[in-house]
Structure 1
Amino acid sequence: MRGRECAQPPRPSLPPLLVTGLALWAATALLWPCLRGVPRGALVIGAAAALAGAALVAVPSLVRRRSAMGRTVLLGLLAALALSCLWACVLQQQTDGNPHSDTWEVVLEEDARRGEFGWRARARATDEQGRTVPVRVNLPESMGLLQGDEFKAEASFKRPTEQAAEFYWNDGLAGSLTVSDREGAALVGRSALSALRQRAIETIAAHGDGRAGLLQALVCGYRAPIEDEGLYDQFKTVGLAHLVAVSGAHLSIVVLFVGFGLRVLRAGRRTTTLAISLFLLGYMAFTGMPVSVLRAALMAFSGLLSLCTDRRNSSLNALGGCLVTFVGLDPPCAISASFVLSAGSTLGIVLFAPLIAAAFGGAGSCARRLFGDAAALTMAAALATQPYAAALFAQVPLLSLAANLIAAPLFTLACVVGFGAVLVACVLPGAAPHLMALATLASAPLSLVVENLAALPASCWPVDAPVGLAVAISVVACAALWLWWPRISGKRLAAAVAAVALALAIARAPLGGADDAIVMLDVGQGDSFLVRSQGAALLVDTGNQEAMLKTALARERVSRLDAVAITHGDDDHCGALKALGDVAAVDTLLVAEDLLRCPCASCGELLSDAEGEGYPGGVAGLALGDTVRCGRFRLTVVWPGRFADEGGNADSLSFLCSWDGDGDGEGEWTALLCGDAEAEQLVKMAERLPAEGVDVLKVGHHGSKKSLDASVADRVSPSVALIGVGEHNRYGHPSQEALDLLASIGCATYCSDEAGNVVVAFSEDTLTVSPERQECETR
């Protein structure tokens, strides 16, 4: 869009190629998950029939050289059916083909990343017979492996279990390959691009000081360090995740500002286009040119054509070609998060950025072109992707618009300077320290802005929204805006933003008259229990899956916590503690008194994290017999007397929760929350429990074999048992022994992996158990 144009842009027509691409994408996203388990013969018949139908639809259009909208959509649907069936047939054959080999040649298709159970990456593996299958490779440690690296390893192939089959299918994987011994893996080769990227990453690491991780993410697309540092979570909190992830929006912002700078210097369109193309090619080289980067670069270039050259029809055709090519060659990518964010943001930019930019037409030329176009790009991309991103990351970044406007020029500065500095440093190693110092200086403003914005209270809100619903909201909003095509003014834009904010506030408002309850939150392989009563709320443990914790808290509409109690320093009980400040104000942190003096690393890390959060009520140590009030609940510490396990499982802070509904000082119901304490500790704390046992038991250590024995089960004698456990966890939790013991005493047992959030509501006469994914039960 040229600076002198302030008038309302015309509504763009949708070219047939884009319509075909959108229909192909939408149909493939719906079809692919449904094809798992379909017989191979039926897939072949479906593909043949769809191909024949597509030919019948396409031929008349080619003859007439024009196509009706309905015919174009039908062509996309038939192509989606044909290609999905063909690829499903191939993937089934790869999964069922019984590949067996002791030695595999593996080529990584992405960087190895740390997961909950070690390092892993998507890869293509070839066995000794020359058969190649797409797999998820599990590594004993990172081994410094990057996208494009090829290594030979002694490894075992495993087909997905029935429980994990859906995940593997949706990711287009035939199974997993586990390298159990690092010594058995040897790097075979590294492409020239991978070698350049490795050199760049090492150069930044050697001379980048405290900003090395951010520079590696910006210049090389290598995100592992900022994920370990927690910086990536800060970018997500303020709505800037796309800046440190490979996406069309990420590259679009750089291209926009580079193009603006060149136009200020009066460079011609050809020069601008050439410079942008060279930048994109260089970026692809530094990132190793994986498919995700190739997608993002092509979409960014096609998207920015509309802003830099005013040729939106060309942009829409280019985007349609990208959709047809990438989805056609790899149907599972249609439901890939990176593809959805790249394609969605690019579509929003091409269609709506000029319309939104018209609202800033009254500003001065330079201000409008710099900040107006940046704001338009951000809002247009958000319109198409923000609901999906909110569901994906379980949070709505309230500062997203402001953060993008502030960060966009700083991000461009960091990228351009960092890219140039690293390129020269790789050619002239002797100059690397000085060049990296310059790159570090250029990235410092962006880092400081993100850190300070993320530190603001309530910088984002947790949300609990199905991904399908989020996508539907974006589709409806984009379709409505395109059909309506209103004249947008600054006032109307501000009103729209205010309306969205009001809708979010209403949706976020706490539920009125919520029951007094203990809620087991579904946070994966970890523990997190919410105690709420009369407007007060206390959280016991946080788990270590930040997105799952935010989703669970959003489901219960928690925006403030009077206190958080951490039972012990294990990561699966406190790993997500720092994420709480993003979504809920926390007053006080409660820990066992001995933890304040414990010299072990996990306790020290926990206290360090707590110091960084700066709780208004501070960190309080609780001793045996101390009580904490939460509305009608009284929580009494019944363990530990003193540390005997260096702050480990046996030292878990344990509470006897007593609920006093009528206020007479006597509890009508009781519950025991015992962290990872097991049968041995429960025997010792039994003297502090009611003689008749407890009504609700949070089973210790996720229901391990040692969590209960027959005598403890009889002594505690709960009516309801709650077990926080992760789906398909490698520990075998909960154990069958623990489940059998609970069943033998007539206890109703709920596990978070199957039941989701479980609400145990207290009233004077009844306990009502309401699992998210099971029928409720009243006792």
Structure 2
Amino acid sequence: MTRLTGTEPCGELRRASGHDFRLVPAAILVWTATLLGLLWHWVATVVCGVLGLVAACALIRRRRRRPSTRDPDWRLPVAGTLIVCGVLVASALAFRIAQAQQHPLREHAQRGGEALVSGTVAERPRLVRAAGYAGRPGGAQSVVVPVDLTEAVVGGIPVRSAGRILLIAPFEEWSRLLPGQDVTASGGLAPSRGGELTVAVTYVRGPPESKGPAPGWQRVAESLRAELRTVSSVLPAEPAGLLPGLIVGDTSGLPERVEEEFLDAGMSHLVAVSGSNLAIVCGAVLLTARALRCGPRTAAAIAGVALIGFVVLVGYEPSVLRAGVMGAVGLLALMLGRRGSALPALGAAVCVLVLYDPAMATTMGFALSVAATAGLVLLAPPWSDAMHRRKVPIGVAQALAVPVAAFLATAPLIAGMAGEVSLVSAVANLLAAPVVAPVTVLGVLAVVLAPLWHGGAELLVQVAGPGVGWLILVAREAASVPGAVMPWPAGWWGGLFALGIAALLVLAIRFRAARMGLALTLTGVLIVFVPVQVVTPGWPPPGWTAVACDVGQGDGVVLATSQPGRAVVVDTGPDPAPLGDCLDRLDIERVPMVVLSHLHADHVGGLSSVFDARSVGAVAVGPGRTPSWAWRRVAAEAARHGVPLLELKAGDRLTWPGLRLDVLGPRYSPASSEDDDGSTINNASLVVKAHTGAGRVLLTGDVELLAQGDLLDAGTDLRAEVLKVPHHGSRYSLPPFLGAVRARIALISVGADNNYGHPSPVTMRTLTSGGALVTRTDTAGDVAVVKDGHDIAIVRRGRSP
């Protein structure tokens, strides 16, 4: 055991392991203050800053009371960093958060008005994959463009305050924008999500009204990324789409199947460029420089140039910036001849980056990156050393310790934020690890070589091809393992529970008592939760009037008539099987009408199942005819079964015994063009109010801001006891629209583990604050609305098998 004396520079905060914890309190202060300020109020940030200053003063006072030379001197450096960070937190950071929270554009966004916005593109556009949209690489229909606002005009009134906004814009016209370009666009305003600096979201429906040139270095970086996509095309489709994601985080050509498999296998971090990529690149440069007999400082300087170039090439993602700052701190220490611990570099990176961009504090990628790095620094080395002492070869020990440490460090965050835990992640990453570094080095070399020698770059890509194929194979096999992804309670409590399990696992490695505690905990979980999943009520419940079927990421609603075995179906989900099973469970034999709100695949894909062993009277659609492939499929299905195909419009009324449908919208007929983006098609959704035996049910399809505003402007009576929430609970719903419904029950039809962020926490809060009971098909399965005496209630069947 190493004896700690007062002459050591870190004293009690430098443990025998050699870790230097002096920057950890400052990092915790900055991160906590930012989180509390963003999630609650900017005053919380000021309070945290003041508490940091108080803690620093207490440390200095305690140091003065014990002036002995043998007294550990860790208090002064910790106090110094707390003073600096406390002042910055209580002043500059709190001011930035307050400025964002009180931004004048927020009030306009709550009302959902139109705005003309001008600003500078802050980051590369991020793809938004949309269910039901075909014909675009990776299924992307839109992009999210973060923009630093310079001016906004709302209703002819200029709003000149600065701030960050998000533009949700069409893929074709906006995906080629680069950071640093000035843009001007007009669109509908929507509220931003809570817990971030974004002051508003603007839903843009056309190309930029004006745009300036991008900086020269950004154009060079984009040309290199384009060269990588070009040379990657010599590989088969799936590896060709994956390689740019592995090297520079470019997933524009990544097939959706591969993306989902990487997510389920816990390997999605490989296509989100972070510290591991920078470590590989800088490590390769350092080794090459040392092989060429460069000195440590020269080699570190060369690696620093490579680091800067790689960060520019990839883009300013939070995880990349975190890794870049940490790498720069480490290289600076090497140039100065000090080989400090990685922990101070991590603490410095957290402080610098969160103060520079407070929005990082609430991003999952940043949190996962910091947690994974901390796990690798604190857990992996002692575990690998312990295995080495037990005669395990050092290379094998490190290969085993690293993925397990990263998994345990990040699993609580993933569980709390995503509501799931990958049980195959550690093994999958262990199998993937040997090829990640060679593929990364070959890919970066191909990027550098492509502009000079295209054939040589293609050769390097072909050499990397088998490694890329191995990664796809590992992800596919891991994702196909039964129970590979385990559902987990989402939110703070789910994360804390997962953290407790992870802590028990860490302790169980060393202590027998902890192993017994872990066994008892798992037994308790089985006793408490298994019966809840096994014991389910009978189905269908007596007196049901409407059922939201669990059809995955899509809509499928069944409305009962007073005649047994007969019901109207509104939308059919993305696939035939789930809706067909739901109708079978409800004993539906006759369907007087199938109403398709609009023609996206997640609403029409299951149409064929309605005809299976059932009699169908008619198929009804709205005014939209795009996408054309979907319209042709619907028309062909109706013709094949000899049923009429009808068009509904606002003002139409349809009646059956015990059921009446009033068509409220759309209030306009959109142009039918293959250039229609997803928003245009969604806003053409039929909006139908169903009058049932249990009350009124408002069915809204996927209407977004524009269509919702049209209904409000027209004075439409939207009141209903039950609301089928628009667009799977996306955040692009106007609070006044949701408030006008006055729903007591809100049904959200949404797929488990979807990639679109549905349902939005903002929409969920708006519904619950309005007094609605919210239920979701991804967690509750089929949901039935029933008549309960003189009231209405819901019955949840449980997740469909």
The equivalent of 1:732 in structure 2 is 708
Q: CA deviation at 1:123?
A: 2.0
The C-alpha deviation readout for 1:323-348, integer Å capped at 9, x for no partner, is 22112223332112121111111112
The C-alpha deviation readout for 1:154-212, integer Å capped at 9, x for no partner, is 42487x65xx35x1x52212334555432633341233144224333344235424122
| Distance in 2 separating the partners of 1:427 and 1:386 | 43
SS of corresponding position for 1:757: strand
Are positions 1:529 and 2:556 aligned together? no
Of stretches 418-427 and 725-734 in structure 1, the one that deviates more from structure 2 is 725-734
With over 3 angstroms needed to count, the CA separation of the structure-2 counterparts of 1:463 and 1:678, relative to structure 1, is: farther
Q: Tell me which of 101, 105, 123 is aligned to 1:109.
A: 123
SS of corresponding position for 1:188: coil
The C-alpha deviation readout for 1:400-454, integer Å capped at 9, x for no partner, is 1110100111222221211112221133235344333333344221122212322
Q: Tell me which of 290, 294, 315 is aligned to 2:342.
A: 315
| Distance in 1 separating the partners of 2:21 and 2:304 | 24
With over 3 angstroms needed to count, the CA separation of the structure-2 counterparts of 1:740 and 1:194, relative to structure 1, is: same
The equivalent of 1:563 in structure 2 is none
Task: Tell whether the 8 Å contact from 1:122 to 1:137 is kept in structure 2 after alignment.
Answer: yes
Query: Could you tell me which amino acid in structure 1 is paired with residue 548 of structure 2?
Result: F
With over 3 angstroms needed to count, the CA separation of the structure-2 counterparts of 1:143 and 1:58, relative to structure 1, is: farther
Q: Tell me which of 139, 149, 164 is aligned to 2:179.
A: 149
Query: Could you tell me which amino acid in structure 2 is paired with residue 220 of structure 1?
Result: V
| Distance in 2 separating the partners of 1:745 and 1:261 | 66
Q: Tell me which of 455, 461, 464 is aligned to 1:439.
A: 464
| Distance in 1 separating the partners of 2:529 and 2:279 | 32
SS of corresponding position for 2:451: helix
The equivalent of 1:136 in structure 2 is 166
| Distance in 2 separating the partners of 1:575 and 1:297 | 44
TM-score normalised by the chain length of structure 2: 0.63
| Distance in 2 separating the partners of 1:358 and 1:697 | 71
Task: Tell whether the 8 Å contact from 1:35 to 1:85 is kept in structure 2 after alignment.
Answer: no
Query: Could you tell me which amino acid in structure 2 is paired with residue 431 of structure 1?
Result: G
| Distance in 2 separating the partners of 1:69 and 1:577 | 64
Are positions 1:287 and 2:314 aligned together? yes
SS of corresponding position for 1:769: strand
Task: Tell whether the 8 Å contact from 1:252 to 1:304 is kept in structure 2 after alignment.
Answer: no
With over 3 angstroms needed to count, the CA separation of the structure-2 counterparts of 1:283 and 1:528, relative to structure 1, is: farther
Query: Could you tell me which amino acid in structure 1 is paired with residue 247 of structure 2?
Result: V
| Distance in 2 separating the partners of 1:399 and 1:229 | 20
Task: Tell whether the 8 Å contact from 2:142 to 2:170 is kept in structure 1 after alignment.
Answer: yes
Are positions 1:402 and 2:402 aligned together? no
Number of aligned pairs? 641
Q: CA deviation at 1:602?
A: 6.7
Are positions 1:218 and 2:246 aligned together? yes
Q: Tell me which of 23, 32, 37 is aligned to 2:38.
A: 32
With over 3 angstroms needed to count, the CA separation of the structure-2 counterparts of 1:453 and 1:729, relative to structure 1, is: farther
Q: Tell me which of 414, 419, 425 is aligned to 2:439.
A: 414
| Distance in 2 separating the partners of 1:21 and 1:386 | 21
| Distance in 1 separating the partners of 2:697 and 2:117 | 46
| Distance in 1 separating the partners of 2:293 and 2:494 | 42
Task: Tell whether the 8 Å contact from 1:104 to 1:153 is kept in structure 2 after alignment.
Answer: yes
| Distance in 1 separating the partners of 2:21 and 2:361 | 21
Q: CA deviation at 1:756?
A: 2.6
Q: Tell me which of 87, 93, 112 is aligned to 2:96.
A: 87
Query: Could you tell me which amino acid in structure 2 is paired with residue 515 of structure 1?
Result: P
Q: CA deviation at 1:646?
A: 4.6
| Distance in 2 separating the partners of 1:770 and 1:51 | 49
The equivalent of 2:485 in structure 1 is 460
The equivalent of 1:378 in structure 2 is 403
| Distance in 1 separating the partners of 2:280 and 2:527 | 32
The equivalent of 1:574 in structure 2 is 574
List alignment gaps of at least 5 residues for structure 1: 1-8, 520-526, 531-538, 550-565, 579-586, 594-599, 611-618, 627-636, 653-675, 773-779
The equivalent of 2:221 in structure 1 is 196
Task: Tell whether the 8 Å contact from 1:113 to 1:119 is kept in structure 2 after alignment.
Answer: yes
Of stretches 132-141 and 472-481 in structure 1, the one that deviates more from structure 2 is 472-481
Query: Could you tell me which amino acid in structure 1 is paired with residue 348 of structure 2?
Result: G
The equivalent of 1:542 in structure 2 is 552
The C-alpha deviation readout for 1:469-525, integer Å capped at 9, x for no partner, is 34545666788899x7x8749x99999998998788777735232223579xxxxxx
| Distance in 2 separating the partners of 1:303 and 1:379 | 24
Task: Tell whether the 8 Å contact from 1:111 to 1:145 is kept in structure 2 after alignment.
Answer: yes
Query: Could you tell me which amino acid in structure 2 is paired with residue 543 of structure 1?
Result: Q
The equivalent of 1:346 in structure 2 is 373
| Distance in 1 separating the partners of 2:185 and 2:406 | 43
With over 3 angstroms needed to count, the CA separation of the structure-2 counterparts of 1:275 and 1:725, relative to structure 1, is: farther
Q: CA deviation at 1:258?
A: 9.9
Query: Could you tell me which amino acid in structure 1 is paired with residue 459 of structure 2?
Result: H
Q: CA deviation at 1:214?
A: 1.0
The equivalent of 1:172 in structure 2 is 197
SS of corresponding position for 2:435: helix
The equivalent of 2:74 in structure 1 is 66
TM-score normalised by the chain length of structure 1: 0.64
SS of corresponding position for 2:173: coil
SS of corresponding position for 1:348: helix
With over 3 angstroms needed to count, the CA separation of the structure-2 counterparts of 1:84 and 1:622, relative to structure 1, is: same
| Distance in 2 separating the partners of 1:354 and 1:290 | 28
Q: CA deviation at 1:349?
A: 1.4
Task: Tell whether the 8 Å contact from 1:179 to 1:185 is kept in structure 2 after alignment.
Answer: no
| Distance in 2 separating the partners of 1:410 and 1:516 | 51
The C-alpha deviation readout for 1:21-51, integer Å capped at 9, x for no partner, is 1232123212322126x6xxx99x8699679
Query: Could you tell me which amino acid in structure 2 is paired with residue 205 of structure 1?
Result: T
With over 3 angstroms needed to count, the CA separation of the structure-2 counterparts of 1:390 and 1:361, relative to structure 1, is: same
| Distance in 1 separating the partners of 2:577 and 2:445 | 38
The equivalent of 2:493 in structure 1 is 469
SS of corresponding position for 1:225: coil
Task: Tell whether the 8 Å contact from 1:12 to 1:312 is kept in structure 2 after alignment.
Answer: no
SS of corresponding position for 2:371: helix
Within 5 Å, give how 1:268-279 maps onto structure 2: none
* Coordinate RMSD, CA, aligned: 6.0
The equivalent of 2:146 in structure 1 is 122
The equivalent of 1:623 in structure 2 is 611
With over 3 angstroms needed to count, the CA separation of the structure-2 counterparts of 1:204 and 1:769, relative to structure 1, is: same
The C-alpha deviation readout for 1:530-564, integer Å capped at 9, x for no partner, is 4xxxxxxxx3x22259xxx9xxxxxxxxxxxxxxx
Q: CA deviation at 1:95?
A: 4.2
Task: Tell whether the 8 Å contact from 2:56 to 2:82 is kept in structure 1 after alignment.
Answer: no
List alignment gaps of at least 5 residues for structure 2: 1-14, 68-72, 109-113, 131-140, 153-157, 557-567, 579-584, 592-597, 623-630, 639-646, 667-681, 723-739, 749-763, 768-772, 777-782, 797-801
The equivalent of 2:111 in structure 1 is none
| Distance in 2 separating the partners of 1:463 and 1:542 | 18
The equivalent of 1:756 in structure 2 is 774
Within 5 Å, give how 1:605-754 maps onto structure 2: 621-623=609-611, 626=614, 640=618, 646=632, 648=634, 683=654, 686=656, 691-692=657-658, 707-708=687-688, 713=691, 716-719=692-695, 721=697, 723=699, 731-732=707-708, 737=716, 739-740=718-719, 750-752=746-748, 754=767
The equivalent of 1:229 in structure 2 is 256
Task: Tell whether the 8 Å contact from 2:412 to 2:499 is kept in structure 1 after alignment.
Answer: no
Task: Tell whether the 8 Å contact from 2:21 to 2:343 is kept in structure 1 after alignment.
Answer: yes
Query: Could you tell me which amino acid in structure 2 is paired with residue 757 of structure 1?
Result: T
Task: Tell whether the 8 Å contact from 1:47 to 1:85 is kept in structure 2 after alignment.
Answer: no
Task: Tell whether the 8 Å contact from 1:106 to 1:124 is kept in structure 2 after alignment.
Answer: yes
The equivalent of 2:21 in structure 1 is 15
The equivalent of 1:656 in structure 2 is none
